[in-house]
A and B are shown apart, each in its own frame.
Chain A
């Protein structure tokens, strides 16, 4: 175990930033989100939940995929992808919480499955992920339900923060390389403090109101029974279809592909989309989901039944609780789990 005094963290960021792009939770206009670090920015590692998850590091909200140059009848396809590793442009994503780190594993299973999404892969390969253990989880947190240990996240490097130090432990080759880069700033020590923090945090997690949700009913064999459940009508009644839950969700990965005409040809880009929107499934000859109930049901069935059924039981929810905090109608996955998850939710 290594450590660095809190007041020297800026030196750590500056050192990393000399040779790599650093993305870290930064406070701006009262909100904390992952942003590019530069001297003078207000870093906030203490903030438990960034408003948006770090998913846009690998899967940006919008990204250009290719260009088309048209001359007369001829079309030329221009590949605008960048292989950051080949360019020698590397990144560090710093301060990722256990839930958001698990969410990257959920996204990997979609984007890195054959055929590999090279846009995602190029960013993913170029990035070293430094996770940060939680020490003060909040009431809306329920990562333990998904067997995530908030006190000891995975990642290339795992860190813990207390009032005096940031403790540092490399887990992978990428993590060792980053450690070597900043080794002059790190000193030995901290095992005892980290163990004490883990124990203290576990006591808090034990007491969280959603830590013991029962997921036992969400099994592939119950797919049709859950789909037909009459409770969806009532649960979805207040849903506005605003899509906020999908945008703040670290695992939501549905996207749209669209074309944009410019003076220099057509740009084809992709952007986040939401299964909560009425035109998501709209076709020229009809729509397979015409009611908000169907769209609401799709989102939760996908996270709790369809995705696990395709991915060896891995749920596509990590209990970050952002949707619990952000839904304007106070609807969320916790209510769905409590209603349909199993008898121990009563």
Chain B
């Protein structure tokens, strides 16, 4: 019988990193110790704990990582509560990859890239940022603006501070919402910071974060002269199947699971406002 995408593979958690008070990053491989499947930056996978439930998460690690996959997961519901209680060695099930990836090989190549993330919104961007770092010569200047509620809520701060900032032709700007002891960086919301930075509107921009951040940041980018056709974001809706059949993530004539989660802002403009 041919393969059924709804039947998952078994994955083993080989490492758990506590990134913030409510975000953990899980490293997963197959039972044979190898990577479960290949993916492209921005694609997602269904992770499940049998008996608890199955949820869609973006794959945080870059496809260029040949050894394992990582998922940065915020504790905010039934499945994620149980995931956060798991220990190294625990097994989960994984199926995928699902969805359309960032156009890293098409539209992004040769361009200056601007990545803007808020909070857990870094998860899908980390995959594409590390992909771009791996093939650094294929891309122009890289600017990363990342904000969170506090310094403790910045996901994967070690990689950012130890690796990203040292990349050639790369600028990293971090910000937190309110002043905090031990933080001498920028304080303020992402949308305002983006405007302050006076970014070059010819860059191709990728936004990911809470809907309210995306809304105001997009506004800011448009004021700076960015073109909507070169601004990308990702959507998130309830999903069950991941392949455009169960009907849940339907918005207009698109299914977020298969036609997204990556959308160009001009594509979103054509969709009814229900996401």
Whether a CB of chain B sits under 8 angstroms from the CB of A150 is no
Q: Which of A75, A118, A122, A289 contacts B50 (CB 8 A)?
A: A75
Residues of chain A within 8 A (CB-CB) of B251 are 288
Instruction: Convert A269-313 into 0s and 1s, putting 1 for each residue whose CB lies closer than 8 angstroms to a CB of B.
Output: 000010100001111110011000010001001100110011000
Q: Which of A117, A223, A259, A305 contacts B53 (CB 8 A)?
A: A259
Whether a CB of chain A sits under 8 angstroms from the CB of B165 is no
Whether a CB of chain A sits under 8 angstroms from the CB of B197 is no
Whether a CB of chain A sits under 8 angstroms from the CB of B240 is yes
Size range of the chain A interface in the assembly: 35 or more
Q: Which of A66, A76, A259, A301 contacts B51 (CB 8 A)?
A: A259
Residues of chain A within 8 A (CB-CB) of B10 are 75-77
A246 (CB) vs chain B CBs: closest residue: B247
Interface locus among B59-67, B86-94, B174-182:
B86-94
Secondary structure dominating the interface of A? mixed
Residues of chain A within 8 A (CB-CB) of B244 are 110, 113
Secondary structure dominating the interface of B? loop
Are the C-beta atoms of B238 and A283 separated by less than 8 Å? yes
Q: Which of B52, B253, B270, B275 contacts A305 (CB 8 A)?
A: B253
Whether a CB of chain B sits under 8 angstroms from the CB of A115 is yes
Instruction: Convert A105-117 into 0s and 1s, putting 1 for each residue whose CB lies closer than 8 angstroms to a CB of B.
Output: 0000011010111
Q: Which of B8, B238, B243 contacts A77 (CB 8 A)?
A: B8
Instruction: Convert B75-116 into 0s and 1s, putting 1 for each residue whose CB lies closer than 8 angstroms to a CB of A.
Output: 011101000000001111100000000000000000000000
B52 (CB) vs chain A CBs: closest residue: A259
Are the C-beta atoms of A288 and B275 separated by less than 8 Å? yes
A243-267 interface (Cβ within 8 A of B): 253-259, 261, 265-266
Q: Which of B76, B245, B253, B272 contacts A220 (CB 8 A)?
A: B253
Are the C-beta atoms of B93 and A77 separated by less than 8 Å? yes
> Could you pull out 16 A-B pairs where Cβ atoms are within 8 angstroms?
A66-B6, A68-B50, A74-B91, A76-B10, A79-B1, A111-B245, A118-B4, A223-B252, A255-B240, A255-B245, A257-B246, A259-B54, A268-B50, A281-B248, A285-B76, A302-B247
Add 10 more A-B contacts to A77-B8, A284-B78 (CB < 8 A): A66-B7, A77-B7, A79-B7, A86-B1, A111-B245, A266-B51, A280-B248, A284-B76, A284-B77, A298-B274
